[in-house]
Amino acid sequence: MSTTTTETKSPPRERAVGRGIDRVDGPEKTTGKARFAAEFPYPDLAYAALVHATVARGRITGIDVKAAEAVTGVLSVLTHLNAPVLKPAPARSMLDLSTMVSATSVNYLNTDEVHWDGQPVAVVVAESLEAAQRGAGLVEVTYQEFPAVVDFAAEEANAKPQPNSMLGAGSAKKGDAEAALAVAPVSVDLRFTTPPHNHNAIEPHATTAVWDGDRLTVHEGSQAISWMRKHLAYRFGIPERNVRMTSPYVGGGFGGKGSVWPGTILTALAARATGRAVRMMLTREGVYRTVGGRTPSIQRVALGAGQDGRLTALIQTSVTRTGKVGGNSESVAEAARHLYDAENILIQQNLVEMDLLPNTFMRAPGVAIGTFALEAAIDELAGELGVDPIELRMRNEPARSPLDGKRFAHRMLREAYALGAERFGWAERTPEPGSMRDGRWLVGMGVATAYHSSVQFTANVTVRLSADGTVVVRCGFQEMGMGGATVQAQIAADELGVPFEAVRVEYGDSDLPTGPMAGGSAQTASIAASLLSACEKLKGSVLALARRSGDSPLRGQRLAAVEARDGGLYRRDRPGAGESYEAILSRAGRPSVEAAIGSESGLGALAGQVRFMAKFINDQRRWVKAASGAQFCEVRVDPDTGEVRVSRWLGVFDVGRVINAKTAASQLRGGIVMGIGMALSEETLVDPRNGRVMNPGLGDYHIPVHADVPPIDILYLDEPDPTMPLGLIGIGEVSITGVAGAIANAVHHATGKRVRDLPITLDKLL
């Protein structure tokens, strides 16, 4: 085939990035074709069910499995007396982030010790789900009980300062905030509490595990397949390459599927012990008893200000809990480090360790509850000062990060509030509490700031361009419904100048290049960074092929002088001069060209990790990076009964460049819905007498129903962050932050009542 020089006459193709493109996985999900972890068929599949401990701390003194074994169809009852031996979970280390994936240190069924009410103490494997569950109900366990620490409220005095970690510093100080508070002309000093929350993804945790000799295949809805794979290999003492983990679809994660919880390990253990393919689908109660949730908190926020409203003192302290056998400290006061330009700042986060199921990541860990207290306190101070709450925030908007003077990579809260106030009709709000009504309804309007720090992980990516102009992007990341595959296809399409439809993205399989975990709102930016590099590398390879040919119009061109568009490479200085990928690859006799970013070898991966940590630390020194926004809400309160209904919502977000207008808006809305639940109804009831969760299901744990969710308007400023790939900032978590604060503030505006203890249930307003 001869070289062709195409003169393009059609107008330039619309870029894919920024458009509201439907999710590529949508049709598979809506037609039921998508295969989730509990739907992989195996001919010899057996089913497993858990038996949960009913004491918070103790030792198993006896397990009677006879009745369970007698149930027709039961294959095996695994207990600590007969289960295969497992290596204990590895200690956590910042040099190997995969160690973070270990949810607890308990070596399930390899110990007679019980560390929380709900810990699995036996697994029943059977030919049917019904037989497994029936068997599990018949296992009789006796315990020697030990004293247990299970009453969070009673442990406040025993809290210890939270150590610094990669997830955030435990404390921070600028000046003498207590002294400044004591002499401040206007001040508030407030105590807030938030209850524990549970994960309620629509897909309960499920695992299908199959052994073939020393090779293990695991299907699981996971937010961290590469880390989980490494963890499983370690626990079972097999090489990492012997474990394959697939997670093609995840029915919601929110942090609850980012760690290895008992169900994962025990399914693989049951499969090993029985020689069968084994599936375990946690019941909703099983999720509550074996998968951690959000820590409760006790917080103090104290603010001092001059009559002009300028903050002289900002104090935020917190007490949260972890389990004695695992869990994470949370950066409750993260937003207080960055939001207000106070002369004196004191941050002190504290921890108690308890004999309870360890807490885990849950959408904006720490910050979601920390911004409730901080933003409600700012509103109270505004009330004391007689200043509009938006105006008070603007008077204290810092030019640089108030604690350390670092530069903000990006900061547009002024613009967000200005746009939001106009769109929401903030000027119509009469400041006096109880002054707005709609019929008998009391009406209130409230605002709060949303804020979530931005991080990135390493991501290995390959991109293959075929002679027919199609592109395959491969990366073992996780798609939890947020549109991960769709946005990466959009990015690749624009970078390579091909139609969006020409790009296929492969993900959710540990056989693929190692992806980042889906957490910390980091997945999209992490992959995008590597994908951009891979596309650049790929274009370089293609250009090199073209340059080999004497009569190519691209001969002698440097990559910088060439742009990818219309399915090929074209000179920037002579728009008509260039070649299609098809032409270049055909001439070179190459069916495809591939580029890879990141190493899969042990040493290369370690080097990548070290490079990543170095960049991370360097970035942290230079910049404060975050997604932020302004939350506006309107509530109606029934003056007779205290019922609160959120009637209107607007979130204006600064999340850098928006890659997909539709999926971004959906994800931001979802965070607000979750925040409404946190504000008004969600609470895990942990019985303080024995540590048992007493509302383990959607009937008693009140997430919002449709009728609780108003129309939610989402606006974004769409200004690229110069320090992020493509200027994008992760959006997974920011929109839950500030929600509870905005609602509490609106409820106060409606009723004159300040509720500082979540959830804001009607009894607190009577």
Minimum CB distance to other proteins, residue 518 (Å): 29
Q: How many residues would you count in the chain?
A: 766
Minimum CB distance to other proteins, residue 23 (Å): 27
427 is a site residue for other proteins (CB under 8 A): no
Q: Is 532 exposed, middle or buried (0-12, 13-18, 19+ CB in 10 A)?
A: middle
Taking the chain, what is the end-to-end CA distance rounded to the nearest angstrom? 82
Among positions 45, 394, 685, 715, the unique one binding other proteins when judged by CB under 8 A: 685
Distance of CA 701 to the CA centre of its chain: 21
Distance of CA 356 to the CA centre of its chain: 22
Alpha-carbon gap, residue 126 to 48, rounded angstroms: 6
695 is a site residue for other proteins (CB under 8 A): yes
Q: DSSP class of residue 294?
A: B
Q: What are phi and psi of 747, to 5 degrees?
A: -65, -40
Among positions 239, 439, 556, 602, the unique one binding other proteins when judged by CB under 8 A: 439
Among positions 153, 182, 183, 694, the unique one binding other proteins when judged by CB under 8 A: 694
Looking at beta carbons only, is 128 or 541 nearer to other proteins?
A: 128
Residue 675 · residue 633 · CB < 8 Å? no
Contact window for other proteins (CB under 8 A) among 325-333, 339-347, 351-359, 758-766: 758-766
673 is a site residue for other proteins (CB under 8 A): no
Residue 475 · residue 593 · CB < 8 Å? no
Looking at beta carbons only, is 54 or 549 nearer to other proteins?
A: 54
Minimum CB distance to other proteins, residue 283 (Å): 9
137 is a site residue for other proteins (CB under 8 A): yes
Nearest to residue 313, comparing CAs of 265, 281, 347? Answer: 347
Measured CA to CA in angstroms, residue 151 lies from 147, 155, 653 at distances of 12, 7, 38
Among positions 384, 643, 718, 719, the unique one binding other proteins when judged by CB under 8 A: 643
Nearest to residue 210, comparing CAs of 270, 153, 142? Answer: 270
711 is a site residue for other proteins (CB under 8 A): no
Contact window for other proteins (CB under 8 A) among 176-184, 526-534, 658-666, 686-694: 686-694
Minimum CB distance to other proteins, residue 55 (Å): 9
Looking at beta carbons only, is 171 or 647 nearer to other proteins?
A: 647
Alpha-carbon gap, residue 512 to 459, rounded angstroms: 11
Q: How many CB atoms lie within 10 A of CB 753?
A: 16
Minimum CB distance to other proteins, residue 56 (Å): 11
The sign of the dihedral angle between the CA atoms of 620, 623, 625, 630 is positive
Alpha-carbon gap, residue 721 to 657, rounded angstroms: 7
Residue 276 · residue 130 · CB < 8 Å? no
Strand, helix or coil at 162? coil
435 is a site residue for other proteins (CB under 8 A): no
41 is a site residue for other proteins (CB under 8 A): no
Minimum CB distance to other proteins, residue 114 (Å): 13
Strand, helix or coil at 90? coil
Minimum CB distance to other proteins, residue 694 (Å): 5
706 is a site residue for other proteins (CB under 8 A): yes
The sign of the dihedral angle between the CA atoms of 604, 607, 612, 615 is negative
SS (H, E, C) 586-604: HHHCCCEEEEEECCCCHHH
Strand, helix or coil at 320? strand
| 733 catalytically annotated | yes
279 is a site residue for other proteins (CB under 8 A): no
Contact window for other proteins (CB under 8 A) among 219-227, 468-476, 581-589, 756-764: 756-764
Alpha-carbon gap, residue 524 to 322, rounded angstroms: 29
Among positions 6, 54, 110, 541, the unique one binding other proteins when judged by CB under 8 A: 54
Looking at beta carbons only, is 213 or 439 nearer to other proteins?
A: 439
571 is a site residue for other proteins (CB under 8 A): no
762 is a site residue for other proteins (CB under 8 A): yes
1 is a site residue for other proteins (CB under 8 A): no
Looking at beta carbons only, is 67 or 419 nearer to other proteins?
A: 67
Minimum CB distance to other proteins, residue 231 (Å): 30
Q: How many residues bind other proteins (CB under 8 A)?
A: 34
757 is a site residue for other proteins (CB under 8 A): no
Contact window for other proteins (CB under 8 A) among 348-356, 532-540, 611-619, 693-701: 693-701
Quickly tell me which residue has 């107008």 as its tokens: 11
692 is a site residue for other proteins (CB under 8 A): yes
91 is a site residue for other proteins (CB under 8 A): no
Contact window for other proteins (CB under 8 A) among 131-139, 271-279, 295-303, 365-373: 131-139
130 is a site residue for other proteins (CB under 8 A): yes
The order of strands in the sheet holding 140-145 is 113-114, 58-64, 140-145
Among positions 323, 370, 704, 725, the unique one binding other proteins when judged by CB under 8 A: 704
Q: DSSP class of residue 685?
A: -
Minimum CB distance to other proteins, residue 108 (Å): 19
The sign of the dihedral angle between the CA atoms of 624, 656, 367, 424 is positive
Q: How many CB atoms lie within 10 A of CB 84?
A: 13
213 is a site residue for other proteins (CB under 8 A): no
64 is a site residue for other proteins (CB under 8 A): no
Measured CA to CA in angstroms, residue 237 lies from 225, 231, 258, 336 at distances of 18, 10, 22, 44
Quickly tell me which residue has 């039921």 as its tokens: 32
Minimum CB distance to other proteins, residue 304 (Å): 35
Interface residues toward other proteins, by CB under 8 A: 54, 130, 133-134, 137, 439-440, 636, 638, 640-643, 645, 680-681, 685, 687, 689, 692, 694-695, 699-700, 702, 704-708, 761-763, 766
Active-site positions read 733
